[in-house]
Amino acid sequence: MPRPDVSADTTFCIAAGHPCLDGHFPGNPIAPGVLILEEVIAAWNHDHAAEPVSGIANVKFLAPLRPDTPVAVQFLRVGEIVKFSCQVEARTIAQGRLLIVSRGAALD
- Render pLDDT for 46-88 as a digit per residue (tens, 0 to 9): 988 899 999 999 999 999 999 999 999 999 998 889 999 999 9
- Render pLDDT for 41-50 as a digit per residue (tens, 0 to 9): 999 999 888 9
Beta bridge partners of 74: 85
Sorted by where each starts, the structural domains of the chain and their CATH numbers stand as 5-100 (3.10.129.10)
| Residue 31 · residue 77 · CB < 8 Å | no
Beta strands in 1-108 (DSSP E): 5-6, 10-12, 53-61, 71-78, 81-88, 91-100
- Whole-angstrom Cα distance, residue 7 to residue 73? 10
| Residue 18 · residue 67 · CB < 8 Å | yes
| Residue 68 · residue 51 · CB < 8 Å | no
Q: What's the one-letter identity of residue 95? A: Q
Q: What is the mean pLDDT of the chain?
A: 89
Predicted pLDDT of residue 38: 97
Cis ω on the peptide bond leading into residue 84 (within 30° of 0)?
A: no
Predicted pLDDT of residue 6: 53
Predicted pLDDT of residue 102: 72
